[in-house]
């Protein structure tokens, strides 16, 4: 279910930034349901639904790292990603996070920049025999609101 969203998002939305071999290798690694379940086991995962159907998800590791964010192409560009990110930022902040980090895909770089993330380093990571570029970005969170 979530692996299907990841797969469709990679194949449907990242074509301007990655070539077909890179898309296939990335989709294969993210689209394995069992592997994804193991990866998400210790993550905080939020799923956005529309008419009862999942259309996107975000996964936070260690209350710090946005490990995955995917929106199905049919629901993309309609604020689903923004909604998921806002919710995770609030939850992480409430749980004491001071900084959030993400290894942003080239497709998502502008999305995270718009949300206050600053590029820290450029990476090239292996996925199933091909190399993909991404950018480590960080955002310092504001002080949590006082309760008195």
Ligand X SMILES: CC(C)(COP(=O)(O)OP(=O)(O)OC[C@H]1O[C@@H](n2cnc3c(N)ncnc32)[C@H](O)[C@@H]1OP(=O)(O)O)[C@@H](O)C(=O)NCCC(=O)NCCS
**31/81 with CB nearer ligand X:** 81
* φ/ψ of residue 35, rounded to 5: -65, -40
**2/69 with CB nearer ligand X:** 69
Cα–Cα dist 101/120, whole Å: 10
Enumerate residues 49-108 that contact ligand X by CB under 6 A: 69-71, 76-82, 102, 104-105, 107-108
25 makes contact with ligand X (CB under 6 A): no
Interface region with ligand X, contact rule CB under 6 A, candidates 9-17, 93-101, 122-130, 135-143: 9-17
Q: At what angle do helices 33-40 and 2-13 cross, to 10 degrees?
A: 110
Q: 108: closest CA among 4, 1, 16? A: 16
Q: Which of 2, 9, 92, 97 binds ligand X (CB under 6 A)?
A: 9
Q: 139: closest CA among 49, 52, 60? A: 60
Does an H or E element contain 89, and which?
A: helix 80-94
Binding residues vs ligand X (CB under 6 A): 9-10, 13-14, 69-71, 76-82, 102, 104-105, 107-108, 110-111, 114
């Amino acid at each position: 279910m979530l692996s299907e969203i990841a797969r469709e998002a990679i194949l449907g939305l990242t074509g301007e930034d990655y070539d077909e071999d890179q898309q296939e290798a990335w989709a294969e690694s993210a689209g394995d349901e069992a592997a994804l379940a193991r990866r998400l086991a210790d993550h905080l995962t939020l799923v956005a639904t529309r008419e009862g159907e999942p259309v996107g998800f975000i996964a936070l590791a260690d209350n710090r790292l946005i490990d995955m964010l995917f929106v199905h192409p049919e629901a993309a560009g309609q604020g689903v990603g923004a909604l998921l990110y806002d919710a995770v930022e609030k939850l992480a902040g409430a749980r004491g996070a001071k900084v959030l980090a993400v290894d942003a895909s080239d497709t998502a770089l502008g999305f995270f920049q718009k949300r206050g993330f600053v590029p820290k380093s450029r990476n090239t990571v292996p996925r199933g025999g091909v190399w993909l570029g991404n950018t480590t970005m960080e955002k310092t969170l504001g002080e949590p609101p006082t309760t008195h």
